[in-house]
Structure 1
Amino acid sequence: MIRLISNFYNDIKDHKDLIKYFVLADLKATNARTYLGFLWWIIDPILYMALFYLLVQVILQRGGEGYAVFLFTALIPLKWTTSCLVDGAGAITSKKGIIERVFVPKIVFIIIRLAVNSIKFFIGLIAMFIFLLVYGVDFSVNVLFVLLIIFIHSIFLLGSMIILAHLGVFIRDVKNMMQYIARTLFYLSPVMYDISRVPDTLAPFLYINPLTSLITSYRNVLLYQQPPEWGALLILLGVSVALLLYALRVLNKYENHYSKVI
């Protein structure tokens, strides 16, 4: 385990300039391809929020007071998750040209995709805080726990992205499948509904989905001045660390095989 972590740290440290270059290049390319650039990361969840607010609050007259912020605090983390998972599936295969010419630890390409999407997430997070302030939400000291939630969330995402990147090399349909899985996550996560309103017999099954404890914790600290769901988060942290260590072991084992398959 110590060796895995050491190799991981050294790979990132030794290639930090390459990571920085590709992250900046990707962000610049995003701006160059569209007129609104980074704003799409904010506009996208706002449009989703408006759509479901219209459907649930206006047409069905459900949801209750504060439903707009209720939706927004879930859509930003959900967007980060789905973008990372979809990009992770093609993180290695998309760099075929580089891999065939020079050896670069494959974890570097996965970190690049995580970093790009994380930067966009923090832009959306800032917009969300502004939105909550304008809406009149009062923050408590519990809001500081959002950093811990983000940390656990990122560990889960990194482990998942490594596994998906590995599978994406050998099973090319993984990236296409992730598009549908990402949509399914929307309905299996407490985005449009409050987990407390789910029947007690069904709620434990929803917690199999990591986004359930994450989204509920985000809402607790941002909207309800409450601490995160410690029990569920600690379990997720343990699972995420185990997943990350396993993923790093798989990546190290097949490090020299990817170029032959691609």
Structure 2
Amino acid sequence: MFGPPAFMVDDVVHWGFDLVSPDQTFTVKDYQAFADAKIADILKRGKMPVVVGGTGLYIKALVDRPTFSSVAPNPELRAKFEAMTNQELIDAIGERDPDALASIDEDNRVRLIRALEIITTTGRPLHEERGHEPAMYNALHIGMDVSREELYARIDDRVAVMVAKGLVEEVRVLKEKYGCDSPAMTGIGYRQICEFFDGKVKLRDALARIKYDTHHYAKRQETWFKADNRIQWVRSSAEAVEAARTFIAQ
């Protein structure tokens, strides 16, 4: 179902890269199913799985086991919502289910459209479509406590490395094959370079926007994770290793 099995990074097997092509949708539910299967395989081989990432909703899906709406995609509704701006989507959700906005990233157009689709189809608040399955994992949550200044500097350095390794050419090739409206091309980095190729901005402005948007995204991630009292915040890799050893020994 999914792409290449794994590859090595610093002598550690990594899973979850290049799972689907850029024109395919990969939902939180898809991620949950993929991760469950890989974790089961890793544990069966007597190894310890480590889940790494910054998308809080995906980690929550794996650890806290929320159930997902059974409402099927409605092409007609989605076409209607696609014609709306993000602010119009936010206003429409707010009119019907104000509480839903607290759990939706207002910059994530895909999730705004999906939320409005569910609310419109069911006529009920979004939370009534959600439940929880029994937890499957006893997990240790570790977060790296980095100053905002250092975090932003790392982000800016990473953008420079991405450009040096061919980000602009990668987007050009993907744009020619899939267009800029495909699911993967809406992500940070791809979206801004698409605007450059469309003649909307200069390259230097597109790169500056990647940095700015990533800073903003990291700030939202920090807010999300700081609200999770299960996370042990550490300032170094050594602290993280020690926390993991203590957890495993229990």
TM-score range with shorter-chain normalisation?
Answer: 0.3 to 0.5
- Which has the larger strand fraction? 2
- Which has the larger helix fraction? 1
* Higher RCO (CA 8 Å, separation ≥ 6 residues): 1
- TM-score normalized by the length of structure 2: 0.33
